[in-house]
Amino acid sequence: MTSAGDEQVETARLVFVPWSDAYFDEFARICADGAVMRFISRGRPLSRREVESITHRTHAMWTQHGFGPWAAIEKASGRWVGRIGLNLLEEWPGPDRWEVGYELAPEFWGRGLATEGARRAIRFGWEETPLERIISVTVPEHAASRRVMEKCGLTMQDEVVWQGTNVVWYAIDRDPTPRSD
Identify any residues that bridge with 158 across adjacent strands, giving them in sequence order.
Answer: 169
* Domain at 4-173: CATH architecture: 3-Layer(aba) Sandwich (3.40)
> What's the mean per-residue pLDDT of the chain?
91
Structural Rg of the chain based on CA atoms:
15
List, for residues 82-116, the tens digit of each pLDDT value: 999 999 999 999 999 999 999 999 999 999 999 99
Q: Is the pTM of this model over 0.85?
A: yes
Q: Would you give the distance in Å from CA 110 to the centre of its chain? A: 17
The pLDDT value recorded for residue 1 is 46
The residues spanned by each domain of the chain are 4-173
pLDDT for residue 10 is more than 70: yes
Q: Do the beta carbons of residue 66 and residue 88 sit within 8 Å?
A: no
List, for residues 23-67, the tens digit of each pLDDT value: 999 999 999 988 888 777 776 889 999 999 999 999 999 999 999
